[in-house]
Amino acid sequence: MSERCLEIGLLLYPGAQLAAVHGLGDLFTVANRMAAGQGRKGLPRLRVSHWQADEAGCVRRVFDSLPQGDGAPQVVILPPCLDDDAEQPLADCYRDWLREQHRGGVLLASVCVGAFALAEAGLLDGRTVTTHWALAAQMAARFPLVQVLPERMVIDDGDLITAGGLMAWTDLGLALVTRLLGPTIAAETARFLVVDLNRESQRHFSSFAPSLDHGDAAVLAVQRWLQGEGGAEASLADMAARAGLGERTFLRRFRSATGMKPTEYCQQLRVTKARELLEFTRQSIEQVAWQVGYGDSGAFRKVFTRLVGLSPGDYRRRFGTAAR
């Protein structure tokens, strides 16, 4: 009886990160090895192929780990991209091919910028997705029918799976192994590759990048003042006075310009400063809380954990560089 295979296609669109392409191929090779070592009957062998548009604009298979095989992919992955123009629209042939694959029942998956291609093809409308945390705002603005959750590492929406930042290809690969070969093989694959299984959040990798190009000079002046103060001890009355506006008008214009309430904005600034102190100093968490404007360290811990996804202590243990 011939071996049952399940083909995973990797789309080599312009600028696709080859490290992720080849890394995913290696991950699926290891998964096949783990499955064979288990001696479990009925598991398919994962076959990896690469797909790329030719000069005529036809998307074709250009590599196959089992070249004697036939058929079509059951999964197609859009890898991340490192090019400066990574968010430029894909050629029509790629978008048309993705729509055709989806109509045919193929599971589509993306990492980082790859989600933009799925959105351009109209496949993410009404869906909840993730992408690199630094691109979330841009994606939400370009594709208002898509709900973007940048804090999530992987979102499995059945026929569509999206993964977060550049290295989230490992998370996507393991999620696919879990679905296709089962959680035991996925756990053994992760253990062999020495990578974490089931990472849920990318919030603790993100950084606060406020909008400064909104064109509201009064709000921008307050933002620059808050940046200098680290967001500490800034009351609504102080901010409105510095903007030369009434409090209600200031609230409306600040939220319109930044997409956030002033209190939320100040929390982000305080937590950003706290992250620096936790990474590069040996100050206690109570000292850090006080320095960024929190008299109650318990309140600081709650805000920090909510925004970062890790407690201050866990964050320091993971990212701290100060001498111990």
Question: pLDDT by residue (tens digit) across 90-123?
Answer: 899 999 999 999 999 999 999 999 999 999 999 9
φ/ψ (deg, to 5) at 124: -110, 0
Residues 46 and 150 in one domain: yes
Residues 231 and 128 in one domain: no
pLDDT (tens digit, 9 = 90+) per residue, 139-171? 999 999 999 998 899 999 999 999 998 899 999
Q: Where among 154, 171, 205 does a domain terminate?
A: 205
Residues 142 and 18 in one domain: yes
If residue 111 lies in a helix (H) or strand (E), which one and from where to where? strand 107-111
Residues 10 and 141 in one domain: yes
Please report whether residue 126 resides in a domain: yes
Mean predicted lDDT score pLDDT of the chain: 90
Nearest to 71 by CA among 2, 119, 120, 136: 2
φ/ψ (deg, to 5) at 14: -55, 125
Please report whether residue 211 resides in a domain: no
Please report whether residue 55 resides in a domain: yes
C-alpha distances in Å from residue 261, one per residue of 176, 219, 236, 252, 267: 39, 12, 10, 9, 10
Tokens coding 301: 């811990």
Is the alpha carbon torsion for 240, 245, 248, 252 positive or negative?
negative
Residues 75 and 23 in one domain: yes
Residues 20 and 130 in one domain: yes
- Could you tell me the pTM of the whole model? 0.75
CATH assignment of the domain containing 237: 1.10.10.60
Q: How much is the pLDDT for 114? A: 95
Domain enclosing residue 300, as ranges: 217-319
pLDDT (tens digit, 9 = 90+) per residue, 287-300? 999 999 898 999 99
Q: Where does the pLDDT of residue 1 fall: very low under 50, low under 70, confident under 90, or very high at 90 and above?
A: very low
CATH assignment of the domain containing 144: 3.40.50.880
Q: How far is CA 263 from the centre of its chain?
A: 26
Q: Are strands 154-156 and 160-163 parallel, antiparallel or unpaired?
A: antiparallel
Inter-residue contact 147 to 127 (CB < 8 Å): yes
Please state the domain count of the chain.
2
Residues 66 and 200 in one domain: yes
φ/ψ (deg, to 5) at 125: -60, 130
Give helix 183-193 / helix 18-38 axis angle, nearest 10°. 120
Nearest to 50 by CA among 22, 19, 9, 13: 9
Tokens coding 212: 């400064």
pLDDT (tens digit, 9 = 90+) per residue, 200-255? 778 777 778 788 888 899 999 999 888 876 566 688 999 999 999 999 999 999 99
